[in-house]
Amino acid sequence: MTVATTTEKTPTPASVEFGHHDLPIPGTYMFDGEAAMKGYNLNKMCFSFNNAENRAEFLKDEDAYCRKYGLTDEQRKAILERNVLAMIHNGGCIYYLAKFAGIFGLTVQDVGAQQRGISVDEFKKMLKAQGE
């Protein structure tokens, strides 16, 4: 997993001359082979949530369901605490995590706000402001 930690001065302006530099992108995690190996069981569990019976079984006993899929202690803790960033740090891929969030009726805006550490209202305002 490529974890971006350094900060950039300013975002590259959109132009017709694109660089090919691989400077880290702050707050962005490339879901690559390393992350995919680390998060395999976590993502596999979330993939199982395509099925309504599996969602019901998870809700009946979350911890047992996590153990059935062989999640690590960190992954299980992240699931039980609904901590999306911690899931990502432990190899979660947002496309599968979204199925987990859906069980609790959380939208991508709820999930986005949680990761940014702001309220959902603030998050929505921020989205809108980028169109102005």
Partner 1 sequence: MARVVGGLTTSHIPAIGNAVPKEQQLLNDPYWKEFFAAYPPARAWLQKVKPDVAVVIYNDHGLNFFLDKMPTFAVGAAFQYQNADEGWGIPTIPSFQGDPELSWHIINSLVGDEFDVTSCQEMLVDHGFTVPMSLFWPNHSYGGVKTIPVCINTVQHPLPSPMRCFKLGQAIGRAIESYPKDLKVVVIGTGGLSHQLDGERAGFINKKFDQLCLDKIVNEPEILTRMSIHELVRQAGAQGAEFILWLAMRGVLHNRVTKIHSSYHIAISNTATGLLVLENAA
Residue 119 contacts partner 1 per CB under 8 A = no
- Please say which residue, 61 or 95, places its beta carbon nearer to partner 1: 95
For residue 2, give the 3-state DSSP assignment: strand
Whole-angstrom distance, CA of residue 52 vs CA of residue 21:
44
Sign of CA dihedral 116, 122, 124, 128: negative
- Write down the residue that tokens 């995590």 correspond to: 97
| Residue of 26, 61, 63, 70 that binds partner 1 (CB under 8 A) | 26
Name the residues that contact partner 1, by CB under 8 A. 11-16, 18-23, 25-33, 36, 40, 43-44, 46-47, 49-52, 55, 84-85, 88, 93-99, 101-103, 107-109, 111-113, 115-117, 123, 126-128, 130-131
